[in-house]
Structure 1
């Protein structure tokens, strides 16, 4: 089915709805995202969805590298929420594998990290079914000083040095607000991403479009950080709010300016602002890693603000797997669940 048909189907099943907790399960947000995608990326997102009974869909995002199947529609979304509980996904594994094999001749699925009810932390039972990726986050309850005190000594020292270097007195301004990007700002973002990523800029821009879509429908669940170096826009970041967790969804920087360490300061400034003005949010997920095939170096700078272990599940189905997934738990048609020899990837914070 088409993406539009998939959203309608999930809505009829009761998996999507205007009152859903996760913004990506709101059909209005999905429709707005698809409109933005068509406008800013040169045409509609045309990627057939393979639908699985019980309300699951998989597709191959045409903007993403590789051929693995991922959760339908949300390929460029950081840590999406799947509208099924963990046991439901486990129970559907055989149907997923059979559907993909019948419709596509390929039973391999390697999703990016996701969240589902009942899968907040790896357990012995869940470890037999899902691979887990360590993607730690920052927890803050109380004052900003108390948050800094919760960091390791090296991170605390680096944070204080960076905050002093990029202080407002040095000409830097940080604003975290619900105000979505203007037409001119989004054009600036697209231009910077094109310069930075070349032919891969479309995928990076799609990441920015998700919080813009959420802001249009659910303004309480999207925030944006603007960083100015005097009069020049230096960074533009987008965040999504789900419950007490705010997720760093997208970032774009001014390539004409070089400020080593400013990216870390943005997360620190966001935490300080959240503590003061958004008391319902108490965790920042900087998305240190979002997929098994991310290189080990990704998110090194982002990890400077984390103080809490967090683990995200990855669903693997099929016998043939890329090297990065070797030894991890998976569902193999004809064999059932195979526990694997490895459990958590990237255990160290």
Structure 2
């Protein structure tokens, strides 16, 4: 079947070559029940997609176990949406020279009463696959905007970034959702930034949607830059406000000459095109010094701060802002208050 698909077919003089992810369950080796066989083949197909798509996977017992865990998590995720079990934490973005906080990334967290804290790397892909990410994303957006509006009262230049899933981008009228959220929460558009992945820009309606968002006054950042398509033609057609350098390259600083060259190239690209570059995942002073030496605009990572709830995050604001800011109690997660803070060259925020 896969070989037949490889020949492709013509659609209005255009050759289309589809790909297929195939899951196989065999009678009677895997089951003698027709419904069970279909279920097993379906589980094997999802495994084929997970390992890279356009592949073939034969059912095995481990797949059944994984499928059951996935089904249970999907059920818990649906219940969590109804029970408002999600919270928002904030990780600061910092000027690498002065240590001054310039903004935050708003990140979703899920605490399940039975499972405890569930890693976003586990539940976010499942939420995207089930479509629940649209509802979750809108709640995170609303919470982040309410908090940003509070911080902006005393820190008018603060910018808070919110991730937008490709599923949100495709399944919702995003400009309308953003406009309504801005009106409802009272946040000023220039204090809000939306983070998209490189893949989002490949969609047929993407540029129109991105320009509509820009017309609302919000800024747009390309997240995990360098880890996806990195199509320079799309970068040229839509000039983002920020490029967020993927942390995999930052981790290579001091260990991989190739990664260092890529970091230097992205920083030069951003500077030439007038886009600020944020380096994610900074964890060592050596990484920080390299980024400072090469003119990186902003950095974030565990060297400075882990994601924390809003009440703690406001302590990272410049002193004149933090003195009067009061954090919202909505969508907050209880975390330890003794969070370590580090600043470059021994400097503290002012």
Length-normalised TM-score, structure 2? 0.29
Greater relative contact order (CA < 8 Å, ≥ 6 in sequence): 1
- The structure with the larger Rg is 2
The structure carrying a bigger helix percent of its residues is 2
Length-normalised TM-score, structure 1? 0.29
